[in-house]
Amino acid sequence: MTVRFGEFTLDPGARRLIRQDGEEIHLSPKAFDLLQLLIESRPRVLDKAALHARIWPHTFVVDANLTVLVAELRRALADNAREPRFIRTVHALGYAFCGNAVAAGDAPVGAAGGARCWLMWNERAIVLAEGESIVGRDPACAVWVDAPGVSRRHARIEVAHGGDTVRLEDLGSTNGTFVDGAPVRGVVEVADGNVLRVGGVDLIVRIWSRGKASETKRIARAPG
């Protein structure tokens, strides 16, 4: 099953890891297997013996092999061992996936077509996964906005109830966060079509809802 987490989509069937901008992230076969195992077992900790048995069946390997794979994943995901977003080290035991991950069904990877919530930045669609996403200039942020005036960790967006509720909070940014021109104080709820301003960047909120979908309108044709 395809899974979305942060700014990434993992497609086990096609063995692809895609970033939200459409770029495919290369992983070695064993590193891909490790990431898939950790996500499937989340949030349970997998001990090193279990990981060795699954990744290298019937083969003796030293712990350093597993350490190399974990380092490869962290580089690919821009993750940090000290402040992990995705892969948590449980010392003397093993590893666990600690990020928010949601099943994406058969939706195409690298596109907003199968998502309930996303942000539009110019022509770019940034999918918002269920749970918490940080907006900021730090490449490790789920919503990476690399632009002047945007703080490294600028704002927090939370998607809840399957996408029916989307909340926004400023994280003490230098230049503030605004919704349709109004400054954000505390936690505010945002709706489809709202314009979020972070630094000097405008992000348009798009929330798809079956209940709001309307019938296709018939276009009147001029008599010919």
Summarised one tens digit per residue, pLDDT across range 22-38 is 788 999 999 999 999 99
Between CA 129 and CA 162 the distance in angstroms is 9
Number of Cβ atoms within 10 Å of the Cβ of 84: 17
Q: Which one is predicted more confidently, 170 or 6?
A: 170
Residue type, 49: A
Task: Give the list of residues 6+ apart from residue 182 with CB closer than 8 angstroms, or none.
Answer: none
Using alpha carbons, select from 87, 109, 94 the residue that is nearest to residue 7: 109
pTM for the whole structure:
0.50
Q: Predicted confidence band at 92 (pLDDT cuts at 50, 70, 90)?
A: confident
Q: How far is CA 92 from CA 79, 123, 163, 214, in A?
A: 20, 46, 38, 56
Task: Give the list of residues 6+ apart from residue 32 with CB closer than 8 angstroms, or none.
Answer: 15, 17
- 136-175 residue pLDDT tens: 988 778 888 888 899 999 999 999 877 788 999 999 999 9
